[in-house]
Structures are given as structure tokens and as C-alpha cells.
């Protein structure tokens, strides 16, 4: 056993506990309590396992699960950026890159490199796995907002066009899930919980 590697791994495990304190804007299903990043990542991992058959392309489900479990760890340092924020881009930032290097860098080098590589793959969104992982990341808050009578859409005045634009990423990983999501978006307009 390599004691230094074990101590580094334990340090990483302790550090990532902080993800439980990162509050997201979205709220739990049928609830007024905000979700935290750990809950979000766990939910996406189970969604990926359950919904994998709807991927348009063959995927390595374990890789998708890894992506969704680690994709928001960088928010320990960089903070959560609301998908509909008008001032800060939701895409990869210098702050996230620094966070990835610091947090994953706590691990032994081989593991650190593997985590950074899978985080980068998710951020780039080009592989089948990354496209499906991003579909999960966009679908979950849509389900939450529709269960909460508009949720963050109402709270922050987010309109149909912005929701449609941001959620259309779902179709990159699954046309089936996009058809379902698009139906929910349009139904939300009809119900008056999303303004067109």
C-alpha cells in the first residue's frame, strides 16, 4: 500500500464534502428547498443509468456516471453559475479550470489526470457520453421547474425563448428525451408557468 496515495485520496474525499454546501437555484421536486450540488450530481447519475437506453448513440454508461458525479465539483471553488445568468457565462471559465486543477490535483497524479480528463470531456460536450451527460444535466432542472409551478423560471423571470435555447442541448444526446422535454416546455407555456 502506498501511504501517500491513500492520504491524498482521503484529503480529496474530505474536500469534496464541500459540494454538499453548494446551493443551486433550482428546488427539489415539489418543494421549496433548494437542491445542493451533491444531490444534483447523485440524481443525474441515477438518471443516466435509468435513461441510458434513450441515448441516440452507444454510450459507456459508467463513463457518463463518472462525468455527472464530478462535473460540478469545481463549484467548490468557482461557485454555481445559474444557467440563465445574464452576466456570467455558464460555460467553462478560468475559475473552473483553476478549481479543477486544485481539487483534482489533491489526488495521486494518475487519478488526478483521469479526473481532469473526464471533466474536460464533459465540458467540451463532443463525445457521445458527454452529450448524453449534458442531456441529463439540462433535463433534471426542467423536471424540477415543471414540478414546482415554474420554479426558477418564475422566480427569476426567465422566458420561453431562453428556456428553449438552453434546454435544446438535450437533443444532442437523445432525440427521445428532447421530444419529451420540448413537450414539457410547451405544456408549461399552455399552463401559464412559462411566459412566451
pLDDT (mean) for 30-41: 95
Calculate the CA dihedral of residues 75, 81, 83, 87 and round it to 10 degrees: -160
Q: Quick one: what percent of the chain has pLDDT higher than 70?
A: 95
Predicted pLDDT at 81: 76
Distance from C-alpha of 141 to C-alpha of 153, rounded to nearest angstrom = 10
Predicted pLDDT at 146: 96
Which residue matches cell numbers 460540478? 72
Predicted pLDDT at 88: 57
> If you ran DSSP here, which 8-state letter would residue 57 be given?
S
In tens, the pLDDT along 40-96 reads 999 999 999 999 999 999 999 999 999 999 999 999 998 887 776 655 555 657 889
In tens, the pLDDT along 159-184 reads 999 999 999 999 999 999 999 999 99
Reduced to 3 states (helix: H, G, I; strand: E, B; else coil), residue 123 is helix
Predicted pLDDT at 95: 86
Cα 50 to Cα 39, 43, 47, 176, 186: the distances in Å are 17, 11, 5, 14, 25
Distance from C-alpha of 75 to C-alpha of 40, rounded to nearest angstrom = 12
Q: For all residues of the chain together, what is the average pLDDT?
A: 94
Q: Which of 105, 76, 149 is nearest to 9 (CA)?
A: 105
* Nine cell digits for residue 172: 444532442
Domain topology for 3-191? Hypothetical protein af1432 (1.10.3210)
Other beta carbons less than 10 A from residue 177's beta carbon? 22
Distance from C-alpha of 19 to C-alpha of 14, rounded to nearest angstrom = 10
Domain spans of the chain, in order of start: 3-191
Out of 6-15, 27-36, 81-90, 171-180, pick the least confident: 81-90
Amino acid at each position: 500500500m502506498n501511504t501517500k496515495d491513500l492520504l491524498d485520496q482521503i484529503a480529496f474525499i474530505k474536500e469534496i464534502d464541500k459540494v454538499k454546501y453548494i446551493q443551486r437555484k433550482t428546488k427539489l421536486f415539489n418543494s421549496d428547498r433548494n437542491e445542493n450540488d451533491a444531490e444534483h450530481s447523485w440524481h443525474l447519475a441515477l438518471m443516466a443509468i435509468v435513461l441510458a437506453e434513450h441515448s441516440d448513440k452507444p454510450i459507456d454508461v459508467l463513463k457518463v456516471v463518472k462525468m455527472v458525479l464530478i462535473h460540478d465539483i469545481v463549484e467548490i471553488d468557482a461557485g454555481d453559475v445559474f444557467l440563465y445568468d445574464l452576466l456570467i457565462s455558464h460555460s467553462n471559465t478560468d475559475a473552473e479550470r483553476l478549481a479543477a486543477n486544485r481539487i483534482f490535483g489533491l489526488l495521486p497524479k494518475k487519478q488526478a489526470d483521469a479526473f481532469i480528463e473526464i471533466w474536460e470531456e464533459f465540458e467540451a460536450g463532443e463525445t457521445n457520453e458527454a452529450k448524453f451527460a449534458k442531456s441529463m444535466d439540462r433535463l433534471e432542472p426542467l423536471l424540477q421547474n415543471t414540478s414546482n409551478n415554474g420554479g426558477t423560471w418564475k422566480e427569476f423571470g426567465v422566458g420561453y425563448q431562453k428556456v428553449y435555447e438552453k434546454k435544446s442541448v438535450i437533443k444532442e444526446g437523445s432525440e427521445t428525451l428532447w421530444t419529451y422535454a420540448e413537450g414539457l416546455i410547451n405544456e408549461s407555456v399552455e399552463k401559464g408557468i412559462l411566459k412566451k
